[in-house]
Amino acid sequence: MYAIVNIAGQQYKVEKDQKIFVHRLEEKEGESVSFDKVLLIDNEKNVVIGEPTIKGAMISGKVISHPRGDKIKVFKKKRRKGYKVRTGHRQYLTEIQIEDIIEKAAVKESKPKTATAKEEKPAGTASAPKTAAKKPAAKKPATAKPAAKKSTAAKSTAAKKPAAKKPAAKKPAVKKPDAGKETKE
């Protein structure tokens, strides 16, 4: 039997008598803790999934210690710039031993669904207004097109002018030999 529970904003898969490390909690060493945000419980017989949590389900545990995590070294460098920074970090943790997973009828806690309202409507009714809206829109441009053609025809007759002549391409200049310079041969 295992459960998935939300502890301090993160989800953990827990079993009975398991030790886990979570982000630092306020409880002192030796105190018992309980978590009611159970998302899933799996017995070998059945699986209960919460929407979003399972009402009446609870995970109980005991705080064993408050250690610190491994040191993480962070080194930043930008080459040829003379920039080097070295920092580190050690996360504060809480070690918890899971004592019991309580189901208590495992009733799903759910919020009212809006998706069921969509499912109740037949698929044909949802698409019918869309197609009805498209048909009148398609008819209006069809009536407007002949008027547009007349105006473009009037513009095209008035706009016809003789094309301007393009200037002739320049001919390359012919090099004349320099009379003043002497060449040695």
HSE-CB for 107 with a 13 A CA cutoff = 6
The full set of domain ranges for the chain reads 2-108
Which residue has tokens 């017995």?
Answer: 43
Specify the pTM. 0.53
| CA gap 143, 182 in Å, rounded | 84
Name residue 109's amino acid. Answer: E
User: Residue 40: what pLDDT?
Assistant: 95
Q: What is the spatial distance between Cα 23 and Cα 73, in angstroms, rounded to a whole number?
A: 19
The pLDDT of residue 120: 53
d(CA 4, CA 12): 6
Torsion of CA 22, 23, 26, 30, to 10 degrees: 30
Q: Decide: helix, strand or coil at residue 69.
A: coil
Distance CA 36, CA 57 (A): 6
| Percent helix, percent strand, percent coil in the chain, to nearest 5 | 25, 35, 40
Q: Give the pLDDT of the chain (185 residues) as one tens digit per residue.
A: 999 999 999 999 999 999 999 999 999 999 999 999 999 999 888 999 999 999 999 999 999 999 999 999 999 999 999 999 999 999 999 999 999 999 875 555 555 555 554 455 555 555 445 555 555 555 555 555 555 555 555 555 556 677 777 777 777 777 777 666 666 65
The structure tokens listed for 130 are: 């869309």
Written as six digits, the tokens of 122 are 């037949």
SS3 47: strand
Residue 149 carries which DSSP code? H
